[in-house]
Amino acid sequence: MSTAADERNARAPWALTAPALMLFVGVLLIPLAMTVMLSFHDWGQYKGIEPVFILKNWHEIATDPYYAEMFWRTFRIAILTTLLTALLGAPEAYILNRMSGRWKSIFLLVILGPLLISVVARTLGWALLFGGNNGLVNKLLMSAGVIRSPIPFMFTETGMVVALAHVMMPFMVLSVWAALQRLDPQIENAAMSLGAGPVTIIRRIIMPQIMPGVLSGAIIVFSLSASAFATPAIIGGRRLKVAATLAYDEFLNTLNWPLGAAVATLLLVALVLIVVGSNALIERRYAEVFR
């Protein structure tokens, strides 16, 4: 009797999670597995995709320096974007946290702004400001005589980093802000009463405590930037490809699906490794603050 009941109880969680599990398997795991399998298939200009198992695509990615350069560029842009958002976002969150009620909500909206605007409008807005000779900022600076030739923005890594940092900023600010909420409201007064000046308070008391927030924000920003498509596609175009835009081109322009699948798989694996690895490091390093 009781064993039958136990068995039924043991099955219940599976039965209850089955619908969500099926959705997860159906729309995520199966396509993902198929993409991985696809990366081992062969492809030819005239024969199309051949469902055989060969390492041709992976060999090409491993040996052709074009891919190494492209992946290196992808991660370089992601790292620079992450650094920029951390350097600007952490102080921004700190200032936001010290604002009083009404101003706080207004500026929170300003910070969330980039997420509310369509990626195309936002990125083209940057292009209007900096694009070539006709960009507003470039025109202004040139007519003022500050610069002779326009600051290159379109089709540059700088442009990509700036535009990505703009849209990623909310993730960093919110993540640091969450860490600031955990701070004891009296902690700065406590440090002050012990004789610490404002710089020491920030460096010795605030920074170590919001570091987990900065780092988890950094993980979000890094993984979103490394796999970003729309912003690099508009600013970098065909000239400056990153992993996501390359995979897109292989799929839809060259129609070399297996190679595109290999690029996508490699990006996914690299990102998972980086994110899981750094997350483990952070949790070990900041165990005391996380508790």
Q: Which residues bind another protein (CB under 8 A)?
A: 184-187, 189-197, 200, 204-205, 208-209, 286, 288-289, 291
Backbone angles phi, psi at 225, to 5 degrees: -70, -40
| Dist CA 112 CA 104 (whole Å) | 12
Measured CA distances, 247 to 161, 233, 260 (Å): 20, 12, 4
Q: Which of 44/288 has CB closer to another protein?
A: 288
Q: How far is the CB of 97 from another protein (least distance, A)?
A: 17
Q: How far is the CB of 288 from another protein (least distance, A)?
A: 4
Q: How far is the CB of 123 from another protein (least distance, A)?
A: 39
Q: How far is the CB of 198 from another protein (least distance, A)?
A: 9
**Structure token digits, residue 69:** 């350069």
Q: How far is the CB of 85 from another protein (least distance, A)?
A: 23
Measured CA distances, 239 to 63, 132, 207, 232, 233 (Å): 21, 15, 40, 10, 10
Q: Which of 37/183 has CB closer to another protein?
A: 183
Q: How far is the CB of 108 from another protein (least distance, A)?
A: 25
81, 161 Cβ separation under 8 angstroms: yes
Q: 157 Cβ partners below 8 Å, 6+ apart? A: 73, 76, 77, 80, 240
Q: How far is the CB of 100 from another protein (least distance, A)?
A: 13
Amino acid at 44: G
Q: 25 Cβ partners below 8 Å, 6+ apart? A: none
Q: Which of 64/184 has CB closer to another protein?
A: 184
At 173 the three-state DSSP class reads helix
Q: Which of 158/209 has CB closer to another protein?
A: 209
Q: How far is the CB of 208 from another protein (least distance, A)?
A: 4
**What is the b/e burial string over 229-241, where b = at least 16 CB atoms within 10 angstroms of the residue's CB?**
ebbbbbbbeeebb
Q: Which of 47/284 has CB closer to another protein?
A: 284
At 43 the three-state DSSP class reads strand
Q: What does the DSSP assignment read for 188-228?
A: HHHHHHTT--HHHIIIIIIHHHHHHHHHHHHHHHHHHHHT-
At 156 the three-state DSSP class reads coil
132: left (phi over 0), alpha (psi -120 to 50) or beta: left
